[in-house]
């Protein structure tokens, strides 16, 4: 009898045309690959060292300028130029400044599909697991070799299953869910492992909200944060691709390294405190901490739903005079939709500053570097010391609702009283 | 592969932003420019303490955070012969192997700052000469050892003309 398999084992087995199990070291034909402007220049340099004359398939590669977009310095501009030259020579997909964050664009533009193996030279590539895609972060050498050969080495990962039961309470969002999980599992609780998320909490979330959870799987060390492709996913993919794809669910009896069960019926809004992501508290333990800056955006929480939640809270109100609220929509189409729906107008009227779609302040390159001693409340996924460009600032991570409410009061605030 | 050097001890969860801060690494791909900033938020002037062949010795989850290869490249550029840690974040681990920097999983609790170490990758041991102890390494696969011996994945790819794992035992 065929051995019961996890989603990862099934996807790898189908790609290889033979049965593989967790732990095996394999070479895989990659379905799609991506680099951003923090990693592509090095990949291009390495690609040249390899001596390849051209990329293996220009239709399976995308590069995105999102980490420093638009360029803040002449040095960065030189690297962007290097990327644009590479695009001209190799005719790959290319997303320039203002198009958005790579992890929004990859699924949004139909480059990442269920059942595929997708790599990205960015750690948050694990995001597309939310649409049943085995997607994982790699480095620049990996991207270079994959651009030349179409192939990459992988260890078929063991899997940790996380089952989320119950109904999420009012005012509690997918960001609160993943912060809670990271607190429980810790920063290396799933290192080298694939994670499968399932249960009624996931079933009830929108696809946009599910991306937030898969996005942060890497913050507990995971290789990918997989979910099944239910009707919501299939609906979401309509009009994004005409390519055929296959969806995967784990077999009954598949081998998991560990299975966690959480009932989230009583979950409160969660906040991750400086300087590690797994340093998480319930909102009541951090309420009242003064903040000087808010950030709404990033590949974690820069989607339309996120902006709408914040706009709902900020409608007719003002950002506190001691706070700067910076908003970076996840993509050009997100920004356009938010304009159409009046969300951007609401945010600007409330006192928010809109910056170009991209990673912006999250990675500390430009667009909102905090001062020494300042506290920032952010919808991003990392709060490491120095992350936003100043190692003497303090970053708190929370949901868009908590960020919006905190920006009104100038201190960390439970959003439920504004909903 | 045999490596000899002194230990520089770090803690758990040393992330890639500590290894090389984002504010430097986005603007250049020249490691000579970046190398002086290695670990500067954790240990200012660390670069100037390193003698060629020394080891970074750390706890759990070394290299967590970003996928940027600048992190292992800067470590290698600084003259560090290998990183020894109880565990590695997975992207850092594969980046290190891919650029030819040994990332060695071993119980590091007994190693202290300044200990003299000898690493033998084939035998799978770390000898702590100062403490007269032998530690067993979590073994690397033959494929990974071959990549390391050749100095990284680029050389591996060039030598074999493709990305294929034959048996290297």
Range of the domain at A314: 272-414
- What single string gives the DSSP state of each residue in A280-338? EEEHHHHTT-B-SEEEEEHHHH-SHHHHHHHHHHHTT----TT-EEEEE-SBHHHHHHH
Q: What is the pLDDT of residues A334-389, one digit of tens each?
A: 999 999 999 999 999 999 999 999 998 999 888 999 999 999 999 999 999 989 98
Q: What's the CA gap between A258 and A220, in Å, rounded?
A: 14
Same domain, A86 and A149: yes
Asked if residue A388 belongs to a domain, the reply is yes
3-state secondary structure of A75: helix
Number of domains in chain B: 1
pLDDT of residue B26 exceeding 90: no
Same domain, A17 and A137: yes
A284 to chain B, any CB pair closer than 8 A? The answer is no
**pLDDT at site B169:** 44
Q: Hey, of A46, A138, A188, A381, which one would you mutate to test binding to chain B, going by the most B CBs within 10 A of its CB?
A: A188
Backbone angles phi, psi at A46, to 5 degrees: -70, -40
The two beta strands, A194-198 and A324-328, are unpaired
The two beta strands, A159-165 and A293-297, are unpaired
Asked if residue B90 belongs to a domain, the reply is yes
Handedness of CA A418, A363, A152, A23 (dihedral sign): negative
Handedness of CA A41, A46, A50, A51 (dihedral sign): positive
Environment class of A372 (CB within 10 Å of its CB; exposed 0-12, middle 13-18, buried 19+): exposed
Q: Residue B119 maps to which CATH number? A: 3.20.19.10
Asked if residue B101 belongs to a domain, the reply is yes
**pLDDT at site B1:** 84
Among A residues 91-150, those touching chain B with beta carbons less than 8 Å apart:
120-123, 125, 137-142, 144-145, 148-149
Asked if residue A266 belongs to a domain, the reply is no
Final residue before a domain boundary, out of A209, A231, A261 = A261
**A39·B69 Cβ contact <8 A:** yes
**B162·A149 Cβ contact <8 A:** yes
Contacts of B89 in chain A (CB under 8 A): 188, 191, 221
Q: What is the pLDDT of residues A289-311, one digit of tens each?
A: 999 999 999 999 999 999 999 99
**pLDDT at site A22:** 94
Same domain, A362 and A250: no
Same domain, A186 and A298: no
Of A51, A137, A192, the CB nearest to B67: A137
Q: What is the pLDDT of residues B88-129, one digit of tens each?
A: 999 999 999 999 999 999 999 999 999 999 999 999 999 999
Asked if residue B133 belongs to a domain, the reply is yes
Distance, in angstroms, between A287 CA and closest chain B CA?
27
Q: Is the preceding omega at residue A70 within 30 degrees of 0, hence cis?
A: yes
Q: What's the CA gap between A147 and B82, in Å, rounded?
A: 28
Backbone angles phi, psi at A384, to 5 degrees: -60, 150
Check: CB of residue A132 under 8 Å from CB of residue A31: no
Of B26, B65, B68, the CB nearest to A68: B26
A81 to chain B, any CB pair closer than 8 A? The answer is no
**B163·A139 Cβ contact <8 A:** no
What is the largest distance, in Å, between two alpha-carbon atoms of chain A? 67
Q: What's the CA gap between A38 and A20, in Å, rounded?
A: 34
Q: What's the CA gap between B76 and B82, in Å, rounded?
A: 8
Same domain, A280 and A161: no
Range of the domain at B140: 2-160
Asked if residue A356 belongs to a domain, the reply is yes
Q: Could you give the ipTM of this predicted complex?
A: 0.93
Q: Which two tokens stand for residue A67?
A: 């980490």
**A152·B89 Cβ contact <8 A:** no
Asked if residue B166 belongs to a domain, the reply is no
Same domain, A174 and A289: no
Asked if residue B156 belongs to a domain, the reply is yes
Asked if residue B169 belongs to a domain, the reply is no
Asked if residue B167 belongs to a domain, the reply is no
Q: Which two tokens stand for residue A122?
A: 């960015």
Mean confidence (pLDDT) of chain B: 93
B40 to chain A, any CB pair closer than 8 A? The answer is no
Final residue before a domain boundary, out of A195, A227, A261 = A261
- What single string gives the DSSP state of each residue in A123-152? GGGGGGGGGT-EEEE--HHHHHHHHHHSEE
Asked if residue A190 belongs to a domain, the reply is yes
C-beta atoms surrounding B129 within 10 Å: 12
Asked if residue A39 belongs to a domain, the reply is yes
Contacts of B95 in chain A (CB under 8 A): 138-142
Contacts of A25 in chain B (CB under 8 A): 141, 143-144, 165
Q: What is the mean pLDDT of residues A323-334?
A: 98
Same domain, A315 and A229: no
Environment class of A232 (CB within 10 Å of its CB; exposed 0-12, middle 13-18, buried 19+): middle
Asked if residue B42 belongs to a domain, the reply is yes
Q: What is the pLDDT of residues A63-112, one digit of tens each?
A: 999 999 999 999 999 999 999 999 999 999 999 999 999 999 999 999 99
Q: Residue A373 maps to which CATH number? A: 3.30.499.10
Distance of CA A219 to the CA centre of its chain: 10
Asked if residue A111 belongs to a domain, the reply is yes
The residues near B4 (Cβ < 8 Å, ≥ 6 apart) are B53, B81, B116, B117, B118, B119
Same domain, A311 and A226: no
Conformation bin of residue A342: beta by default, left when phi > 0, alpha when psi is -120 to 50: left
Number of domains in chain A: 2
Asked if residue A2 belongs to a domain, the reply is no
The two beta strands, B125-128 and B133-136, are antiparallel
The two beta strands, A394-397 and A353-354, are unpaired
Asked if residue A267 belongs to a domain, the reply is no
pLDDT of residue A123 exceeding 70: yes
């Amino acid at each position: 009898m065929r051995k019961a398999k996890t989603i990862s084992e099934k996807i790898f087995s189908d790609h290889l045309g033979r049965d593989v199990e967790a732990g095996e070291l394999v070479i895989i034909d990659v379905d799609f690959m991506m680099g951003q402007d923090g990693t592509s220049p090095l990949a291009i340099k390495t690609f040249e060292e390899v001596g390849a004359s051209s990329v293996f398939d220009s239709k399976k590669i995308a590069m995105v300028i999102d980490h420093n977009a638009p360029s803040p310095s002449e040095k960065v501009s030189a690297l962007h130029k290097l990327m644009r030259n590479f695009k001209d020579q190799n005719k790959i997909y290319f997303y320039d400044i203002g198009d958005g964050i790579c992890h929004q664009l990859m699924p949004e533009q139909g480059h990442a599909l269920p059942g595929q193996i997708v790599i990205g030279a960015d750690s948050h590539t694990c995001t597309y697991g939310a649409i049943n895609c085995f997607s994982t972060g790699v480095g620049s050498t990996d991207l270079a070799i994959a651009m030349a050969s179409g192939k990459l080495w992988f260890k078929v990962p063991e899997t940790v299953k996380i089952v989320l039961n119950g109904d999420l309470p009012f005012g509690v969002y997918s960001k609160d869910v993943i912060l809670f999980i990271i607190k429980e599992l810790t920063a290396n609780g799933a290192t080298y492992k694939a994670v499968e998320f399932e249960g009624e909490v996931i079933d009830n979330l929108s696809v946009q909200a599910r991306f937030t959870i898969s996005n942060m799987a890497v913050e507990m060390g995971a290789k990918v944060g997989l979910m099944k492709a239910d009707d919501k996913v299939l609906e979401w993919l309509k009009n994004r691709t005409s390519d055929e794809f296959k969806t995967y669910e784990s077999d009954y009896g598949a081998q998991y390294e560990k299975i966690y069960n959480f009932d989230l019926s009583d979950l409160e809004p969660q906040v991750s405190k400086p300087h590690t992501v797994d340093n998480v508290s319930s909102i009541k333990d951090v309420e009242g901490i003064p903040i000087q800056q808010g950030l709404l955006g990033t590949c974690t929480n820069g989607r339309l739903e996120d902006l709408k939640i914040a706009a709902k809270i900020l409608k007719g109100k003002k950002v506190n005079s001691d706070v700067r609220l910076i908003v970076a929509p996840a993509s050009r189409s997100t920004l356009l939709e938010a304009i159409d729906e009046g969300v951007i107008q609401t945010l600007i009227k409330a006192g928010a500053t809109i910056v170009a779609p991209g990673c912006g302040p999250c990675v500390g390159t430009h667009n909102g570097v905090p001062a020494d001693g300042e506290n920032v409340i952010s919808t991003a996924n990392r709060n490491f010391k120095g992350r936003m460009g100043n190692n003497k600032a303090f970053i708190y991570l929370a949901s868009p609702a908590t960020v919006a409410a905190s920006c009104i009061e100038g201190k960390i605030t439970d959003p439920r009283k504004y909903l | 592969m045999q490596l000899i050097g002194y230990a520089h001890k770090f803690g758990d969860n040393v992330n890639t932003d500590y290894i090389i801060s984002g504010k430097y690494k986005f603007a250049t791909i020249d490691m000579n420019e970046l190398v002086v900033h290695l670990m500067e938020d954790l240990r200012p002037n660390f670069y100037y303490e390193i003698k060629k062949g020394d080891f970074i010795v750390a706890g759990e989850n070394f290299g967590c955070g970003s996928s940027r290869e600048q992190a292992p490249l800067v470590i290698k550029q600084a003259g560090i012969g290998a990183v020894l840690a109880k565990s590695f974040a997975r992207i850092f681990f594969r980046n290190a192997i891919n650029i030819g920097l040994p990332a060695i999983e071993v119980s590091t609790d007994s190693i202290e700052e300044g200990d003299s170490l000898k690493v033998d990758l084939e035998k799978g041991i770390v000898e702590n000469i100062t403490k007269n102890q032998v530690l067993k390494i979590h073994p690397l696969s033959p494929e990974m050892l071959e990549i390391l011996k050749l100095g990284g994945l680029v050389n591996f790819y060039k030598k074999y003309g493709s990305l294929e794992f034959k048996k290297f035992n």
